[in-house]
A and B are shown apart, each in its own frame.
Chain A
C-alpha cells in the first residue's frame, strides 16, 4: 500500500501538554489541600488509565487471536494507547504510598478487632498486595514489549512469521489478561470495602476496560482518517465494527452490572447489600440512577440503528461520551468510600481527569512521531483495507 507518514499537527501536542500541565498543577494543589481525597482521585484516574492502556493491549491481542482483518489498518492506534503501560508502572508508585489513606484494611488496629478481615489477611496484606502489583506489571510490560516489537519489526521485514508468533503470544495473553485485570479490580477497588465481595467484580471492570478502549480507538481512528493520516481506501464503512463493538460492550457492561446488582438484591444478605446501600444514600441515589442512563440506556438508544455505526461525526461524539461514562462508572465504584454523604465533584477531580486525558494524548503523540500510523508490513492489512460492509 502507498502509505506516506505525516507528523501529527502541533495542536495535538499543545493540547496534550496543556491538559497535562494544568492537570499536574491541580493535582499538586489537591495533595496540598486534602491528601486523602487526592489519593482517592488519584486511584480513580489510575484505574481509568489502566482501562485504556491495558484494554488497548487486549484489543491488539484480540485481533491476533481471532484473526480479525477489519481492525488491522487501525491496530497502531491501540498499540500507541497501550504505551500507557510503562507510564502506569511509574504512576502506580505514588499510589502505593497512599495505601494507608485508601485502604482501611492496612491499619493494624482494624486487623486486630476484625475477625472477618483476619480470615482474609492471608490474601489481603500489604506485602502480598505489592507483590501482586509487581507480578501484574511484569506480565503487562512483557507482553506489551513483545507485541509492539513484533508489530514494528514487521513494518520493514514484512515477515508473516511475526504475525504467527504474535498469535501464539495473544493466546497466552488472553488468559493472563483476564487474571491480571481481575486481580487489579479486586485489589484496588473491591478491597476499598474489604468486607464486601462480588464474584462478578473482575468481569465488571473488564467490561468497562474494553468499553472505553474501543471508544478511544474509534475516536482516534475517525479523527486520523478524516484528516488523511491513515489511508484513502478507508471509508465510513470501515468504522462499522468500532460502532458495533462499542454497542456490544455497552450491552455487555449492562448485562454484568445488572447481574451483579440483581444477585445482591435477590439474596438480600447484609454482607453484600451494604455496598449498594452506600450508593443509595443522599445524592448518591441520583448518581446511581444516572449511571444506568449515562452508561447504558442513552448510548444504547443512540447506537442501536445501523446507520449510526457508520456516521463518523456521531461515532467521535459517542466515543467522548463513552470516555466520560467510564469515568462516571469508576467514580461510582471508588468514591462512595470517601464521600460517604453524597458525591462531590470539584476542581480536584477535574484536575485528575485533565491529567489523564492529557497523558493519553501526549503518549499517543510521542509514539506517533516515531512509528508508522499504519502497520504497513502486516500481511492482513490488504484484506483490512478491502473490508466491505455489504
Chain B
C-alpha cells in the first residue's frame, strides 16, 4: 500500500519535472548560461565578465570558492545593516518591555530591588538583541539574496543546474543586463574556455501569469502544516507528557501542602503551630469579637488624616463597601434587590458613633453584614473610617466649611 503510494508520488514528481523542463517554458529569454570545467577557468571568467562591465550575472559552483567575491567585483553585503538596525530595535523593545512589565503593568518588589533595575534587565535585553539580530539576518539573506516572495528561479530544473550542483562550474548573464548582446556574450563565454553555452527561458509561472506564492495548494499546505504542528504540540505536551516531570506544569511539587502529613516533623503534621504565647504579625486577635456594640470601648482612629489616607480609604471603600452601601454610603449599592438593603451611613446612629464602633462593624460584622476582617487589614479599616467621616461631613456641610477650605 505505502510503497504503491510512494511510487505514485515519485512518478508524479518525475512527470512534473519533465513538464517543467519543456512545456512550461515561455519564449522569453532569461539569460545565457555557460559551463566550465575547472575552478581556475570560472574564476578568470567571472573576473572577465565583471571587467567587461556586466552587472546582472551570477556564478554557480558545486562548493564555496575562496576568492570568488573579489573576482566578481562584489561589494560587501548589505545584510549587516539590516541585522544592525533590527538588533538595535530588539534591544530597545526588550528594555521597553521589561520596563513596562515590571514597573507599569505589574509592579512587584523582588529582593528589595527597584521595580525597574538595569542589571536585572540586561540578560533579557541581550536575548532580545540577539533574537532580532538573528531573525533579521536570516530574513535579510532570504529577501536580499533569494528575493523571497519569488520562490522559483528560471534556473531550477534545468540541465545547467544539474551540472553545476555536481561537477561543473557555471556562469549566467541575465538577458536584462544593459550590456547584454547575444552574440557578444557567446563569444565572451567561448573565448574564456566554456565548453557549453545554454539558453535559459523563463517559465510561464516566472512571468507573473501565476504567482506561485498565492497558489491555493501552496497556501493550503502551509496552513495544513501549521495546524498539524499545533495539534502535535498540544497532544505531546498536554496528553503524552502530561504527567511527566518536568512537563507536568508544576502540578507536583516537592513541598508540603497544608493539612497534609509529613514525615519530616516528629508529630507527622505538615503544618506548624505558632510558638506558645506568640502571635503572628498582622494576626492580632480582636478582643471584642462577637460582643454587642455597647460593650465596645475602642480606640480612637490611630491614623492621622492626610490626602493619602483618604484616597486609600476611598479606594478600599469603593471596592469593599460600595457594592452594598453605595458609593456615597446611602445604602443604594449595586447589590440592591439581591441582598438586604443596608441602612444609610448618614443616619444619626452612625453619625454619633465613635470611630471604634464602625471599626467593630467592619471587623465583627453586624447581623447580615459579614465580617470584613479577612479582606481589609487593620490600617485600611481605619482609612475607610476616615473616608466615611468625610462622606458624612460632605452630606452635612455648613457654609463655614465652604469658606474655610479654599
Q: Which residues in A have some Cβ–Cβ distance to B below 8 Å?
A: 258, 261-262, 265-266, 268, 304-307, 386, 388, 390
Cβ contact within 8 Å between B68 and A258: no
Total residue contacts A-B, CB cutoff 8 A: 28
Give 27 CB contacts A-B under 8 Å.
A258-B119, A258-B122, A261-B119, A262-B119, A262-B120, A262-B122, A262-B123, A265-B119, A266-B111, A266-B113, A266-B119, A266-B120, A268-B112, A304-B84, A305-B80, A306-B76, A306-B80, A307-B76, A386-B66, A388-B66, A388-B67, A390-B66, A390-B67, A390-B68, A390-B69, A390-B70, A390-B74
Q: Smallest CB–CB gap between A253 and chain B, Å?
A: 15
Report A-chain residues with C-beta under 8 Å of the C-beta of B119.
258, 261-262, 265-266
Q: A262 to B68, alpha carbons, bound, how many Å? A: 46
Report A-chain residues with C-beta under 8 Å of the C-beta of B111.
266, 268
Report B-chain residues with C-beta under 8 Å of the C-beta of A304.
84
Q: A262 to B122, alpha carbons, bound, how many Å? A: 9
Residue of A nearest to B71 (CB): A390
Which secondary structure dominates chain B's binding surface?
Answer: helix
The 5 closest A-B pairs by CB, nearest first: A388-B66, A390-B69, A265-B119, A262-B119, A388-B67
Report A-chain residues with C-beta under 8 Å of the C-beta of B80.
305-306
Q: A388 to B65, alpha carbons, bound, how many Å? A: 9
Residue of A nearest to B122 (CB): A258
Report B-chain residues with C-beta under 8 Å of the C-beta of A262.
119-120, 122-123
Which residues 38-70 of B have a CB within 8 angstroms of A? 66-70
Q: Smallest CB–CB gap between B223 and chain A, Å?
A: 40
Q: A261 to B80, alpha carbons, bound, how many Å? A: 31
Report A-chain residues with C-beta under 8 Å of the C-beta of B112.
268
Report B-chain residues with C-beta under 8 Å of the C-beta of A261.
119
Report B-chain residues with C-beta under 8 Å of the C-beta of A305.
80
Q: Smallest CB–CB gap between B105 and chain A, Å?
A: 22
Report B-chain residues with C-beta under 8 Å of the C-beta of A307.
76
Q: A262 to B84, alpha carbons, bound, how many Å? A: 26
Residue of A nearest to B68 (CB): A390
Report A-chain residues with C-beta under 8 Å of the C-beta of B66.
386, 388, 390
Q: A145 to B67, alpha carbons, bound, how many Å? A: 39
Interface residues as binary, B107-141 with A (CB distance below 8 Å gives 1, 0 otherwise): 00001110000011011000000000000000000
Residue of A nearest to B74 (CB): A390
Q: A106 to B317, alpha carbons, bound, how many Å? A: 66
Residue of A nearest to B81 (CB): A305
Interface residues as binary, B80-111 with A (CB distance below 8 Å gives 1, 0 otherwise): 10001000000000000000000000000001
Q: A305 to B84, alpha carbons, bound, how many Å? A: 10
Q: A388 to B67, alpha carbons, bound, how many Å? A: 6
Report A-chain residues with C-beta under 8 Å of the C-beta of B74.
390
Residue of B nearest to A305 (CB): B80
Q: A307 to B80, alpha carbons, bound, how many Å? A: 11
Q: A304 to B83, alpha carbons, bound, how many Å? A: 12
Report A-chain residues with C-beta under 8 Å of the C-beta of B76.
306-307
Q: A262 to B70, alpha carbons, bound, how many Å? A: 45
Residue of B nearest to A258 (CB): B122
Q: Smallest CB–CB gap between B77 and chain A, Å?
A: 10
Which residues 387-402 of B have a CB within 8 angstroms of A? none
Query: A258-B122, A306-B80, A390-B70 are known contacts; what are 6 more A-B pairs with Cβ within 8 Å?
Result: A258-B119, A261-B119, A268-B112, A386-B66, A388-B67, A390-B67
Report B-chain residues with C-beta under 8 Å of the C-beta of A386.
66
Q: A306 to B75, alpha carbons, bound, how many Å? A: 12
Q: A73 to B356, alpha carbons, bound, how many Å? A: 90
Report B-chain residues with C-beta under 8 Å of the C-beta of A388.
66-67
Q: A305 to B79, alpha carbons, bound, how many Å? A: 12
Q: Smallest CB–CB gap between B35 and chain A, Å?
A: 23
Residue of A nearest to B66 (CB): A388
Residue of A nearest to B67 (CB): A388
Residue of B nearest to A304 (CB): B84
Residue of B nearest to A267 (CB): B111
Residue of B nearest to A386 (CB): B66
Report A-chain residues with C-beta under 8 Å of the C-beta of B122.
258, 262
Report B-chain residues with C-beta under 8 Å of the C-beta of A258.
119, 122
Q: A263 to B113, alpha carbons, bound, how many Å? A: 13
Question: Which among A261, A265, A386, A390 has the greatest number of chain B C-beta atoms within 10 A?
Answer: A390
Q: A305 to B78, alpha carbons, bound, how many Å? A: 12
Q: Smallest CB–CB gap between A245 and chain B, Å?
A: 19
Q: A262 to B66, alpha carbons, bound, how many Å? A: 43
Residue of B nearest to A307 (CB): B76
Q: A305 to B68, alpha carbons, bound, how many Å? A: 22
Q: A268 to B68, alpha carbons, bound, how many Å? A: 56
Q: Smallest CB–CB gap between B69 and chain A, Å?
A: 4
Report A-chain residues with C-beta under 8 Å of the C-beta of B120.
262, 266
Q: Smallest CB–CB gap between B59 and chain A, Å?
A: 12
Which residues 342-379 of B have a CB within 8 angstroms of A? none
Q: A212 to B395, alpha carbons, bound, how many Å? A: 78
Q: A386 to B76, alpha carbons, bound, how many Å? A: 20
Q: Smallest CB–CB gap between A112 and chain B, Å?
A: 36
Q: A343 to B266, alpha carbons, bound, how many Å? A: 58
Q: Smallest CB–CB gap between B242 and chain A, Å?
A: 34
Q: Smallest CB–CB gap between A389 and chain B, Å?
A: 8
Q: A3 to B159, alpha carbons, bound, how many Å? A: 48
Question: Which among B69, B74, B119, B120 has the greatest number of chain A C-beta atoms within 10 A?
Answer: B119
Report B-chain residues with C-beta under 8 Å of the C-beta of A265.
119
Q: Smallest CB–CB gap between A115 and chain B, Å?
A: 28
Q: A262 to B124, alpha carbons, bound, how many Å? A: 13
Q: Smallest CB–CB gap between A279 and chain B, Å?
A: 15
Report A-chain residues with C-beta under 8 Å of the C-beta of B70.
390
